[in-house]
Structure 1
Amino acid sequence: MKHLAISFIMAFALAGALQAAARKAVVVQTTLGDIRIELYDETPAHRDNFLKLARSHFYDSVLFHRVVRNFVVQAGDPGSKRAEPGQMLGGGTLDYRIPAEIRLPRLYHKRGAVAMAREADEANPGRESDACQFYIVWGKRHSTAVVDEQRQRLDTLGGGATMTDEMASTYRKVGGLPQLDGLYTVFGEVTEGLDVVERMLEADTDDYDRPLDDIRIIAVRVEE
């Protein structure tokens, strides 16, 4: 029986490893270095949309137009490709939205998470995602009091939204943005290149959070 139990554990571990290995991944090549992102199978509409845009070279030459220390770096505005210095960015998009795929508590805003931006609830009560603008989470480490406050907020959302002990521990020890959980779709995570994100966050920015020295996506390569 003991050997059988061990065999089951090994089988489950192998299955988990194979599942992770089977995830689609992209490499975002930037002027500051490469960022590898694994895309979640639990959010197929977002995964497939991102892959489609990457394969069509949509992201080639777009800027990381929004950089907020201890918060996020954001890219994907098509109007940023030929933007003039000092031009306010962030309003460009495509002519569709992606239905929300919020998968709490499995997928959440831990440091390194990748999620889609969207319009505010007033114009977008279904919390549908923008077609092309995405952000990478940084987020500081949070106190127990802040984590507990966000846990209570999620409890009031209903619909299965909750904060697990694992999530709470990650927000305290690693960092992230628990205040965004339940509000935006997380569809991937950075597996290599968080140091590149950290360098982006050190950039000097203007009043619109745009880096004074452009940080550009050279290309997004899909790992086949």
Structure 2
Amino acid sequence: MAQTETTVAPAATDLENVLVIELSTGGTVKIAMRPDKAPKHVERIKQLAREGFYDGTIFHRVIEGFMAQGGDPTGTGMGGSKYPNLPAEFNDLPHVRGTASMARAGDPNSANSQFFICFQPAFFLDGQYTVWGRVIEGMEAVDGIARGEPPANPTKIVKAYVAADAAKAEGEGAAQ
């Protein structure tokens, strides 16, 4: 039986494991992160989001019918964070539409800050790239990311943050 989107729903999420990405196109994307499947990668994504690392970065490699890749501070596909590369955490989550997975170089243990979101199933990537989450809201915003390598007018990540941090800030603001 072929795998489909309905056979691999993301795990029940709490706000600590939801990444929110606000795009320059006005769209918002929510990704349910899977620390049960890729704990080191989820930890890194949350760390970088909390540091504001992704804010202002572009989707620099966007291939129609395949995926949108971002998370490079240089916008070239060659950059990463100041932190060491991560060891691969290949898992049984398939690359279906909406999958969030880490980009890497030829070395399986070279993921750092760059990630991609699949537009369509890409099962040929299974077991070779670390899947760390899946879009649970805003896939239409992902579909609207400008195409190109790099795009002529790239879509930017205006802000990326952990949903729990926003909820906490809202609660603190209401208490004042």
TM range (shorter): 0.7 to 0.9
1:45-100 Cα offsets, whole Å, 9 max, x none, are: 011110000000000100011110000000011113xxxxxxxx111113521111
User: 2:100 corresponds to which residue?
Assistant: 114
Q: Pick the structure with more strand per residue.
A: 2
Matches within 5 A, 1:82-101: 89-95=76-82, 96-101=84-89
2:113 is matched with 132
Counterpart-to-counterpart distance in 2, 1:116 and 1:24: 16
Structure number with greater Rg is: 1
- The one-letter code matched in structure 2 to 1:197 is V
Count of paired positions: 150
Runs of 4+ aligned residues of structure 1 deviating over 6 Å after TM superposition are none
Which of 17, 27, 40 is the aligned partner of 1:24? 17
Normalised TM-score (structure 1): 0.64
Q: Find the residue that maps to 1:90 and give its secondary structure.
A: coil
Is the contact between residue 81 and residue 112 of structure 2 (CA under 8 Å) also seen in structure 1?
Answer: yes
Q: Which runs of 5+ in 1 are unaligned?
A: 1-18, 81-88, 140-175
Contact 2:18 2:32 in 1 (8 A): yes
CA distance in 2, matches of 1:210, 1:62: 13
1:99–1:128 Cα contact (<8 Å) kept: yes
Output the CA distance in 2 between the equivalents of 1:40 and 1:129. 20
Q: Does 1:67 align with 2:67?
A: no
Q: Which of the pair is proportionally richer in helix?
A: 1
Give ranges in structure 2 of 5+ residues lacking alignment. Answer: 1-10, 165-176
Structure 1 distance, partners of 2:51, 2:156, is 17
Deviation at residue 129 of structure 1 after TM alignment: 4.1
Residue in 2 that maps onto 1:221? 161
1:130 and 1:74 map into 2 onto residues whose CA distance is 13
CA offsets 1:181-216 (integer angstroms, 9 cap, x no match): 11100000000111011111xx353xxx11111211
CA-based RMSD of the aligned residues comes to: 1.4
Q: Deviations over 1:104-153 (max 9, x none)?
A: 2xx11011000001111xxx1xx1142100000112xxxxxxxxxxxxxx
TM-score by length of 2: 0.81
Matches within 5 A, 1:28-67: 28-32=21-25, 33-41=27-35, 42-67=37-62
* Matches of 1:43 and 1:185, distance apart in 2: 7
SS in 2 for 1:51: helix
